[in-house]
Amino acid sequence: MTPALPSLPSPVQCFGTNMVAMVTPMETDGTLSKPGIVKLAEHLVATGCDGIVVAGTSGEAPTLTEAELTELVTLVKTTVAGRAKITVGIGTYDTAETVARARLAEDAGADGLLLVTPYYSRPTQAGVIAHCTDVADATMLPVMLYDIPGRTGTPFEAATLLDLAQHPRIRAVKDAKGDLFEAMNVMAATDLAYYCGIDELNLPYLAAGATGVVSVIGNAVADRNAQLIQAVAAGDLATARALHTDLVPVTEAIMRTSQGAIQAKVAVHALGIIPTAAVRRPLVEGPAEDVARITAVLPHMQAALAVA
CA distances from 214 to 172, 202, 218, 305 (A): 12, 9, 8, 20
Catalytic residue among 93, 146, 195, 205: 146
Asked about 194 being catalytic, the answer comes back as no
Q: Which residues pair with 145 in a beta bridge?
A: 115, 173
Q: Name all contacts of 193-199 with Cβ < 8 Å and 24+ positions apart.
A: 193/10, 193/11, 193/12, 193/15, 195/15, 195/19, 195/144, 197/21, 197/146, 197/147, 197/148, 199/247, 199/251, 199/254, 199/255
Asked about 265 being catalytic, the answer comes back as no
CA 86 – CA 72 distance, rounded (Å): 11
Catalytic residue among 39, 77, 174, 177: 174
What is the Cα gyration radius of the chain? 18
Residues classed as catalytic: 146, 174
